[in-house]
Amino acid sequence: MPPPQNPNRVQSAARLEPVPDAPLQRRITGEFLRAGATETALNVGGLLRDALDDFKSSDRYFKYKAMVLVSWLVLTVTSVGVACPSSGFRTNSFGARLVVAGDATSPIYMVKNEGAEPWQDVEVLVNGQYRSTAAQVDAQREITLSPVILYDAAGARAPAELRINEIVVQINDEKVTLLEGGQPR
């Protein structure tokens, strides 16, 4: 009676003895990674060389189509890059960002802490006259500015129809202007 067959072993039709299993490598070494990276780089290089040879041997109309496609792609990427810069907003030393919401007739202004650390002893000066203070503004939190929370030096509340044209944030002895002349900075 023949010995039971192991489904994980390879056996040639020419021999009756199974091929011994290769020992599994248990650790990934630097040499193994280098060899894999070299092999991948050579394969990519070969694919690019083949693609270039195919492109060189293609007809003129295919090359025109490829030129139009590449031009469209470059223009699209450039347009997106100009419309949506990578930073998203201008940064300053403590990560303050002005968020404007609402409509043009009655905008809502928020000063957001985009930094990783909470702010201590925060003062927001609006139009050089009205102030709002906070002992602490945690990271990723904001202060919403409205006439209800703005007071002048004498303690009088800001008028309800206040039009905000300037916002300066002061933390300790450092100041950052976020809105000047009605335009974000």
Q: What is the fold of 96-184?
A: Immunoglobulin-like (2.60.40)
What strands, in cross-sheet order, belong to the sheet with 96-102? 96-102, 107-113, 142-145
For the segment 66-76, what is each residue's pLDDT rounded down to a tens digit?
Answer: 999 999 999 99
Domain boundaries, the chain: 30-83, 96-184
Residues of the chain below pLDDT 70 = 1-26, 85-91
* DSSP secondary structure string for all residues of 52-113: HHHHHHS-HHHHHHHHHHHHHHHHHHHHHHHHS-TTSS---TT-EEEEEEE-SSSEEEEEEE
* Predicted local distance difference test score (pLDDT) of residue 20: 66
* Predicted local distance difference test score (pLDDT) of residue 148: 86
Give the pair of three-digit tokens for residue 114.
């985009």
What's the pTM value of the predicted model, to 2 decimals?
Answer: 0.51
* Predicted local distance difference test score (pLDDT) of residue 25: 56
Helix (H) and strand (E) counts in the chain: 2, 8
